[in-house]
Amino acid sequence: MSDEFESADDVIKRIFADGTSSVGLQMASSSERTRVLDETVFPQPSRTRFIAVANQKGGVGKTTSTVNIAAALAKAGSRVLVIDMDPQGNASTALGVPHGSGQPSVYDVIEGRKGIAEIKLPCPDFETLEVVPSSIDLSGAELELADLPNRNYLLRSALHAFLTESDLHYDYVFFDCAPSLGLLVLNALCAAREVLIPIQAEYYALEGLGQLIHTIGLAQSTLNRHLVISTILVTMYDRRTLLSKEVYDEVHEHYPSIVLETTIPRSVRISEAPSFGQTVIAYDPHGAGAVAYREAALEIAQHSEQALQLIDDTRKNEG
């Protein structure tokens, strides 16, 4: 009867090739899903993708999604840079890099004392993943830079200078934003070309999504006309509840072209990993949380050309 079972290639083609539901993989065991992912080649984007992970609501899995998607893409062979723009430095913690007060950080980059090349550190778990760490010192930047005429573009200028001089090509640059809309988040939105929005599978998150998209729209119209919302990721999804499904269906109905089919489950392992200075991809590689984030990263990788075309279209429309 073994001929009745699909091969790993057949599973991948059925689930991912046409961009349809990932229910098949979600029902399979974590070990089988891991095996399928290990055998899958993640497509690389034709040029660097600059993605701000943003949501003004805290506790939605923003930093968790940033670090784990970045780690999953690095695990699959992409070269990734994560820029931690949150003074809490949680992304730096999860990626295993030092970021205590007084240590070189993105704060020095924003204020022009150091370049990104001097600040970035390697993630110990993934060879092709680097981090520009944050620290609590960054919290002072809002006031210190408030009167500068180019205050919203400081990070973009520093990043452009770094990439122009760097011998390395980065496939992805992620910006982990603070849960607010201050100067630091605006710097990330001006340096980015895409926004990834994590949204928790609960009713109140739906109420905040419209407000968030409106806020990003204001940034698009006044600061960065080429910024696009390319991805929505539903997090903390509980398959045992009808509410999670209703939230997902509602988001999918309104934003069908950008919401990922993959959802991220509630997971103790996802929450534990940062306390060990790791992503869940490194801490519990075969667990449900790691597998889900790897599946989400695969979807993001597969949508690269679509996202890049969307950016190009905004430029053409402006012209």
Nearest-angstrom CA–CA distance, 143 and 105: 17
The structural domains of the chain, with segments of one domain joined by +, span 44-318
Which pLDDT value is given to residue 7? 54
Which pLDDT value is given to residue 100? 85
User: Is 265 in a helix, a strand, or coil?
Assistant: strand
User: Quick one: residue 144, left, alpha or beta (phi over 0 = left, psi -120 to 50 = alpha)?
Assistant: alpha
CA distances, 101 to each of 137, 199, 206 (Å): 6, 31, 36
Q: Are strands 49-53 and 172-176 parallel, antiparallel or unpaired?
A: parallel
Which pLDDT value is given to residue 8? 52
Query: Fold for domain 44-318?
Result: Rossmann fold (3.40.50)
Q: Are strands 194-200 and 49-53 parallel, antiparallel or unpaired?
A: parallel
Nearest-angstrom CA–CA distance, 161 and 143: 24
**Over the range 100-117, which residues count as b (16 or more CB within 10 Å of their CB) and which as e?**
eeebbbbbbbbbeebebe
Nearest-angstrom CA–CA distance, 129 and 78: 8
Which pLDDT value is given to residue 13? 52
Which pLDDT value is given to residue 307? 95
- Yes or no: say if 99 and 92 are a contact pair by the CB < 8 Å rule: yes
Strand partners, 175: 52, 83
What is the pTM assigned to this prediction?
A: 0.89
User: Is 64 in a helix, a strand, or coil?
Assistant: helix
**Over the range 231-263, which residues count as b (16 or more CB within 10 Å of their CB) and which as e?**
bbbbbbbeeeeeebeebbeebbeebeebbbbbb
- Yes or no: say if 177 and 146 are a contact pair by the CB < 8 Å rule: no
CA angle, 198 as apex, 78 and 279 as ends, to 5°? Answer: 50
Which stretch of DSSP H or E encloses residue 49? strand 49-53
Burial class (CB in 10 A: 0-12, 13-18, 19+), 15: buried
Which pLDDT value is given to residue 169? 96
Torsion of CA 272, 131, 65, 13, to 10 degrees: -110
Which pLDDT value is given to residue 20? 44
- Over the chain (319 residues), what is each successive 10-residue block's mean pLDDT? 51 50 54 91 97 88 96 98 95 94 91 95 97 91 85 96 96 93 90 95 82 86 92 92 90 92 94 95 94 97 95 79
